[in-house]
Amino acid sequence: MATQNGAAQNTVSDWLASAHPTPEGAHHEWRLSGIALIPTGRVFDALRLPAAIVHRAVGSAVPELVRARLGDGAVIHDAYAPGRWYYALVRPGACAQHDAYRLDGGTWLGIPGAGRTTRPGAYWIRPPRHREDFCPEDDITELIRRGGEGQTHPRPLPELDTIERACRALFDDDGRDPGPQDAAAATTQARDHLAALLPVTQEAATQLPLDHATQARLARALTEAYRQLETDSSSLNLARQYAHAKRLARCCLDQVRVLRELDAVADGPPYL
């Protein structure tokens, strides 16, 4: 099975690299950094989709759920780009659609290596399974339709004061030793708070101007939040489980702080 998977990745890698003027150059970049700059327009095109549209369409911003609920075809998630974009690979010459921007032919796009399916940076939220594993245009149209529903209605802002108090209380343990139930409850509570904050924070990121002063901090806060959510602490000892709960709580506090800053600026998202 491992040999078959490796052979499939090599086939996909060769296909992706064939879009590069010097395919070996793409392979070299993948070996060095895991990302290769490859031009669109000849072997494949790419439609850039706002993260808010994708997350509304699939009903989640958690990578595992996004991956499971996306349709067919290869999709890149650029977790470092301002605003956080998704790039759906489509056949060359595919039509641009409302809320989906087709990159001009010859645009150099950061293409992850075929086996790069996790952060940091750009990765395949749905990796190509074979050559020409394109996203059907009808699927993209339906995704945009679902993601556009209700976008004129502001997403309700979570109770920031309540979340902040609960998360800060986790750090005021008065030196007592937490029990297993304490650690489990603290982790569950912090995860629930983060799940309430992430869709709002994520949507805020897509609304910010690219040069907004808060953009870099927001991107770091989101990246760290997803990293902590993806960490399974159930197998860790009690002290490490509790430490992970505190890291989750700190991610919540970081996002509360950023959301309040956005609420204070005149050009902030209208729903804040």
Report the pLDDT value the prediction gives residue 267, as an integer from 0 to 100.
44
Report the pLDDT value the prediction gives residue 40, as an integer from 0 to 100.
93
Is 52 or 72 the better-scoring residue by pLDDT?
Answer: 72
Structure tokens at 90: 């489509």
Band of pLDDT at residue 133, cut at 50, 70 and 90: very high
Is 183 or 112 the better-scoring residue by pLDDT?
Answer: 112
Is 211 or 27 the better-scoring residue by pLDDT?
Answer: 27
% of the chain surpassing 90 pLDDT: 31
Report the pLDDT value the prediction gives residue 102, as an integer from 0 to 100.
81
Cβ neighbours of residue 146 under 8 Å, at least 6 residues apart? 56, 57
pLDDT tens digits for range 65-123: 788 888 899 999 986 654 578 999 999 987 666 667 788 788 899 999 999 998 777 89
Mean pLDDT for the stretch of residues 21-35: 93
Most confident of the ranges 96-100, 242-246, 257-261: 242-246
pLDDT tops 70 at residue 4:
no
pTM: predicted TM-score of the whole model, two decimal places: 0.58
Is 207 or 53 the better-scoring residue by pLDDT?
Answer: 53
Residue 268 vs residues 49, 113, 157: alpha-carbon distances, Å: 21, 36, 14
Report the pLDDT value the prediction gives residue 145, as an integer from 0 to 100.
85
- The helix (H) or strand (E) run that includes residue 212 is none
Is 72 or 233 the better-scoring residue by pLDDT?
Answer: 72
Residue 202 vs residues 55, 66, 245: alpha-carbon distances, Å: 9, 14, 21
Report the pLDDT value the prediction gives residue 268, as an integer from 0 to 100.
42
Report the pLDDT value the prediction gives residue 248, as an integer from 0 to 100.
92
pLDDT tens digits for range 190-201: 888 888 887 777
pLDDT tops 70 at residue 45:
yes
**Domain edges within the chain:** 2-148, 160-264
Distance CA 54, CA 206 (A): 11
Among 136-150, 165-179, 254-268, where is mean pLDDT lowest? 254-268
